[in-house]
Amino acid sequence: MTFEQQVGAFMQSGKYAEAIACAEKGASEGDAWACFCLGDWKLVGQGMKRDVPGAVALLEKGAAQDHIQSLWRLYPLLLTGTGTPADPDRAKEIVEKIRDHDGLCAQQLLLLEQNPEPAEIVRENLASDPAVEVRRGVLSQAECHWIRMVAASQVQPSFVEDPRTGRRIPHPIRTSDGMSFGPAQEDLVINRINHRIARLSGTQYAAGEPLHILRYRPGQQYRPHFDALPNVTNQRIKTAILYLNADFEGGATTFPKLDLEIRVGEGDMLLFDNLDESGKQHEGSFHAGLPVDAGEKWIATRWIRAEKYHPWGEF
């Protein structure tokens, strides 16, 4: 039996310790699949403590043997600089190598080829204190469609943990469905968009939180709230919201304290400051997404921190 078959048999029997030991043995012997399997478990912390550098080392061993799953798992980490120095050129080379084995990889490359960086982006200032502005045409129609397509199968209802019971309960502020393109999911298209957001906002790519996708169906909304977080040292200084479609009714973005109600087009970006000059939460940044009346509203949000940020912390 191959190591893949052995690990699979242990997992089906509920013998997880034996499965891990088998994968470790296979990886020590250089088996490409075992390197991928153990690297994947270390990356997500499945059955063991998360070890990102260790995961990268194992995936590199699998990738050196042209193991497709190892290559596929490795390239987002190279894009985002997770557990290894960022190397976008090598990440793209990997995607080109596996394009014939993965339809999404082939589609990414085609989209990037057919949709170059926008030549001109119009800026409209809506408020100065706090700064609120709209950038027109930040995303192409194809980029908007890509985000919606990839996210559609992954969005889940918004929940929070009840501090009293520890149970998951519906989010009291946000009634949408959502997902994030984390460090292991950020593809070439999302990575280029995140770098574009950084450039347009005058911030560092590494300071952005994972691009978060929200889908609002009729009746769903994001009630008035602040994006600044309580009791953190690395604060959200700016918010960028990309609008991924326009074929819906209702759902405008409002800033009640600024008397602003904003409805923009597909591919436009709303950018605003969350802090005042003293670094405290700006009361004017209080905003909401009004209920959708008809259709579906899709947005992509990038919360931008003051300093470098990684959702997995230090490793």
Is residue 116, in this structure, part of any structural domain at all? no
pLDDT in tens, 249-298: 999 999 999 999 999 999 999 999 999 999 999 999 999 999 999 999 99
How many helical (H) and strand (E) elements, i.e. helices and strands, does the chain have?
9, 16
Q: Is 207 found in the same domain as 133?
A: yes
Q: Is 203 found in the same domain as 126?
A: yes
Single out the residue in 80, 111, 142 at which a domain terminates: 111
Q: Is 84 found in the same domain as 170?
A: no
Q: Is 275 found in the same domain as 131?
A: yes
- CA dihedral (186, 189, 192, 198) positive or negative: negative
CA nearest 312: which of 189, 180, 202? 180
CB 42 within 8 A of CB 53: no
Using pLDDT thresholds of 50, 70 and 90, give the confidence band for residue 166: low
Give the C-alpha separation, 56 to 69, whole Å: 13
pLDDT score for 174 = 87
The one-character DSSP state at 163 is T
Q: Is 290 found in the same domain as 145?
A: yes
The tally of domains found in the chain comes to 2
- The CATH number of the domain holding residue 94 is 1.25.40.10
pLDDT score for 315 = 79
pLDDT in tens, 31-76: 999 999 999 999 999 999 999 999 999 999 999 999 999 999 999 9
pLDDT score for 210 = 98
Question: Domain containing 210: what range?
Answer: 122-305
Beta strands 168-170 and 236-243, pairing class: unpaired
How far is CA 139 from its chain centroid?
16
Is residue 310, in this structure, part of any structural domain at all? no
Query: Which amino acid, 228?
Result: A
Task: Enumerate residues 6+ apart whose C-beta is below 8 A from 173.
Answer: 222, 223, 225
Single out the residue in 111, 134, 168 at which a domain terminates: 111
CA nearest 151: which of 301, 315, 47? 301
Using pLDDT thresholds of 50, 70 and 90, give the confidence band for residue 158: confident
Q: Is 74 found in the same domain as 135?
A: no
Give the C-alpha separation, 111 to 150, whole Å: 13
Q: Is 7 found in the same domain as 66?
A: yes
CB 227 within 8 A of CB 274: yes
Q: Is 98 found in the same domain as 140?
A: no
Give the C-alpha separation, 36 to 59, whole Å: 5
Q: Is 127 found in the same domain as 105?
A: no
Q: What is the pTM of this model?
A: 0.95
Question: What rounded mean pLDDT belongs to the chain?
Answer: 95
Is residue 127, in this structure, part of any structural domain at all? yes
- The CATH number of the domain holding residue 180 is 2.60.120.620
Is residue 315, in this structure, part of any structural domain at all? no
Using pLDDT thresholds of 50, 70 and 90, give the confidence band for residue 163: low
